[in-house]
Structure 1
């Protein structure tokens, strides 16, 4: 009887430990989901504010907003293009690594532009704008180049696959149409 009690106690303890582990993992997963959702919501609000500021703020302030929009759009669309094809094509891993490094530069530049948006001296904004615009153009051009290369690679792979499939279908079609004619059965003659 004492042994059965010990076994039941051990099973209850194992169940409690397992329940504790599951609870901790669930809480962490929910926390990550909430943090990710909050970050996405914050990004949407900030993007909307940038678009509004682009049209409502005249002069250098509007130009800074436009630069931030251009920078974000190039990086985001390139991430989307590479992520969509990364699972199918292992060769894109190096491009994804380069894009990650480029994204670090884009974030730093976006931070500078964000600080410049809050600058009350428009002459200072106008003085810094050409240099920052050049940096934005360099980053967006690099991101565009990676995205276009990934799209060209996917288009080329699709064209090659389609050509191969077309050749295989032509061979199979020819094989299906090829048959050896058999001699018609001989009918017994009337004299037999």
Structure 2
């Protein structure tokens, strides 16, 4: 009887431990999901505000908003292009690493632009705008270059694959259409 009680107690402890572990993992997963959703919602709201500011704020304020939109659009589009093809093509790993470094520069630049949006002295903003515009164009051009190269690589790979497939199908089609009956094997003549 004591043995059965000990076994039941051990089973209860094991199930309680497993339930506790499952609860902690579930809570962590939910927290990560909420944090991810919150970040995405915050980003969506900020992007919408930027687009509205671009049209409603005259002068340098609208230009700063446009620069931030251009910067974000180029980086996001390049991430999307590389992420879409990265699992299929190991050669894009280097490009993804370069894009991560470029993204660090883009974030810093976006932070500077964000501070300038709040700057009350518009002459100061106007003075800094040409230098920041040049930097934004450098980052967006680099991101565009990576994205276009990834797209060209995917197009080239698809074209090569299609050409090889077409050649294989032509060979197989020719083989299927070759219906000349096979010659029966020659039997050795009795004198041989």
TM-score range, shorter chain: over 0.9
Q: What is the correspondence of 1:51-70 to structure 2 with a 5 Å cutoff?
A: 51-70=51-70
Q: What is the correspondence of 1:1-192 to structure 2 with a 5 Å cutoff?
A: 1-181=1-181
Runs of 5+ unmatched residues, structure 2: 184-192
SS for the counterpart of 1:141 is: helix
Q: Given the two structures, how large is their TM-score scaled by the length of structure 1?
A: 0.94
How far residue 180 of structure 1 moved from its aligned partner, in angstroms, is 1.5
Q: Given the two structures, how large is their TM-score scaled by the length of structure 2?
A: 0.94
Q: Aligned pair in 2 of structure 1 residues 182, 109: CA closer, same or farther (>3 Å)? A: closer
Runs of 5+ unmatched residues, structure 1: 184-192
Give the 4+ runs in structure 1 shifted more than 6 A: none
CA distance in structure 1 between the partners assigned to 2:7 and 2:182 by the alignment: 79
Give aligned pairs, total.
183
CA distance in structure 2 between the partners assigned to 1:9 and 1:96 by the alignment: 53
* Root-mean-square deviation (Å): 1.0
How far residue 181 of structure 1 moved from its aligned partner, in angstroms, is 3.8
SS for the counterpart of 1:148 is: helix
How far residue 97 of structure 1 moved from its aligned partner, in angstroms, is 0.5
Listed one character per residue, the Cα deviations across residues 86-134 of structure 1 (whole Å, up to 9, x for unaligned) are: 1100111110011000000000000000000000111000000000001
